[in-house]
Amino acid sequence: MTKPVILDCRDVWKLYGAQADSFLATHPDPSPEQLKKAGLIGAVRAANVRIHSGEIFVIMGLSGSGKSTLVRCLSRLVEPTAGEIRFEDRDLLRASEAELIRIRRKKMGMVFQQFALLPHLTVLENAAFPLDVQGVGRKTREARAREVVELVGLKGREHYYPRELSGGQQQRVGIARSLAVEPDLWFLDEPFSALDPLIRREMQDEFMRLQNILHKTIVFITHDFDEAIRLADRIAVMKDGAIEQVATPEQLVLNPATDYVAEFTRHVSRAKVLRAASVMEPVGEGRFAGDVPHDAVIEDIADRVEAADRPHRVLRDGAAVGQITRAAIIDVLVGRA
């Protein structure tokens, strides 16, 4: 069952340059060449995105692709040149400054690559800071701050200062601070890219643990496809300000919409992306070595299926919908699938 849409971005443009508004009014769908000739930069071009409640929606692309600008347009930290953005069915572009402040304080959480912690405040005080800004009483805000500090695994460090924490721990404080207001929509702009690879992996694990508990609606920016396929329910791939394709990680790999998406996903390990249902065959006669879920990622089931002499049944809602063989697993692992 499709979940309700919480954020709907319709034909959004962000142009930089002189008289961008008037140019777009007379050229409703300009090409990159037309923009260049007019001396304009198309940071975001005709973006359409519908984000569903409770999903992790990843926006990815190379540097300069427009992913960060798009997210700032979605939260109106950057004012779009044209288009419509609806959050919980209200038009954000028509919201007053006071309404926007209220929405950002109580409905949206944001985490950026730079931790931006206040150095003179402790972990607990940093986590409580958004509630302090809202005027929440000290006892209430500190109780909520203790909850989120414990949630991100920093219990016992409430009275540490940022300088006394590692990079990963500082990022956890940033996450705790954004969660303190219990946002409905959570924006994360490359939050782990400044971390060392091992810490980054740990933070991805922590992020997935939090999502399994909180079930937030998340817009996550990254340029790392491995990170995207590990975290995302759906991915939007951007190039030169435009969205090339929106799909699940598996769909991007199996059915790229453009040559750019195909090249972008060419070297991705198929075992990390493909699921049992994509490589199964019709159920055969005889006995089976075991059962696997239809949505199991090949990487997670490869060892036991490859080691078995007989096929495994593929189950959906308890019913057999196919079988998966050792040969199919090997094909994926060696890149023949």
pLDDT at 65 > cutoff 70: yes
Mean pLDDT over 316-334 rounds to: 93
Q: Which residue has the higher pLDDT, 206 or 145?
A: 145
User: Is residue 238, in this structure, part of any structural domain at all?
Assistant: yes
Region of poorest pLDDT, from 107-116, 207-216, 249-258: 107-116
Same-domain check for residues 242 and 323: no
Select from 60, 68, 56, 105 the least CA-distant residue to 207. 56
Same-domain check for residues 220 and 311: no
Contact 130, 105 (CB under 8 A): yes
Q: Which residue has the higher pLDDT, 248 or 200?
A: 248
Torsion angle of the four alpha carbons 191, 193, 199, 205, in this order, in degrees rounded to the nearest 10: 50
Q: Which residue has the higher pLDDT, 146 or 206?
A: 146
Q: What is the distance between the alpha carbons of residues 102 and 114, in angstroms, rounded to a whole number?
A: 24
Same-domain check for residues 71 and 14: yes
How many Cβ atoms sit within 10 Å of the Cβ of residue 298? Answer: 25
Domain end, chosen from 219, 245, 267, is at: 267
Same-domain check for residues 90 and 190: yes
pLDDT computed for residue 119 by the predictor: 92
pLDDT computed for residue 191 by the predictor: 85
Q: Read off the CATH number of the domain in which 89 is found.
A: 3.40.50.300
pLDDT computed for residue 106 by the predictor: 85
User: Is residue 30, in this structure, part of any structural domain at all?
Assistant: yes
pLDDT tens digits, residue range 76-96?
Answer: 999 999 999 999 989 999 999
Q: What is the distance between the alpha carbons of residues 211 and 190, in angstroms, rounded to a whole number?
A: 17
Same-domain check for residues 330 and 187: no
User: Is residue 91, in this structure, part of any structural domain at all?
Assistant: yes
Same-domain check for residues 256 and 303: no
Q: What are phi and psi of 118, to 5 degrees?
A: -85, 115
Domain end, chosen from 249, 267, 285, is at: 267
pLDDT tens digits, residue range 6-37?
Answer: 999 999 999 999 999 999 999 989 999 999 99
Same-domain check for residues 224 and 281: no
Q: Read off the CATH number of the domain in which 309 is found.
A: 3.10.580.10
Per-residue 3-state assignment (H helix, E strand, C coil) for 232-255 = CCEEEEEECCEEEEEECHHHHHHC
Domain end, chosen from 267, 294, 324, is at: 267
Mean pLDDT over 120-134 rounds to: 93
User: Is residue 130, in this structure, part of any structural domain at all?
Assistant: no
pLDDT computed for residue 37 by the predictor: 94
pLDDT at 1 > cutoff 70: no
Helix ranges restricted to H, the chain: 20-26, 32-37, 67-74, 97-106, 123-134, 138-151, 167-179, 197-214, 225-231, 249-254, 259-265, 276-279, 298-307, 326-334
pLDDT computed for residue 267 by the predictor: 86
H helix and E strand count, the chain: 14, 13
The interaxial angle of helices 167-179 and 123-134, nearest 10 deg, is 20
pLDDT computed for residue 4 by the predictor: 92
Question: If pLDDT is split at 50, 70 and 90, which confidence band does 242 have?
Answer: very high
**Average pLDDT value for the chain:** 92
Contact 124, 145 (CB under 8 A): yes
pLDDT at 148 > cutoff 60: yes
Both tokens of 213, joined, read 């508990």
Region of poorest pLDDT, from 146-150, 193-197, 216-220, 258-262: 193-197
pLDDT tens digits, residue range 263-308?
Answer: 989 888 899 999 999 999 999 888 999 999 999 999 999 999 999 9
Entry field: residues in the chain:
337
Mean pLDDT over 157-169 rounds to: 92
Same-domain check for residues 275 and 262: no
Considering its fold, how many domains does the chain have in total?
Answer: 2
Whole-number CA gyration radius for the chain = 23
pLDDT at 256 > cutoff 70: yes
User: Is residue 304, in this structure, part of any structural domain at all?
Assistant: yes
Amino acid at 203: M
User: Is residue 133, in this structure, part of any structural domain at all?
Assistant: no
DSSP secondary structure code for residue 93 in this structure: G
Both tokens of 34, joined, read 């037309």
| Domain that residue 321 falls in | 271-334
- List of residues 6+ apart from 235 with CB closer than 8 A: 57, 58, 59, 60, 228, 229, 246, 247, 248, 249, 252
Question: If pLDDT is split at 50, 70 and 90, which confidence band does 202 have?
Answer: confident
pLDDT computed for residue 337 by the predictor: 56
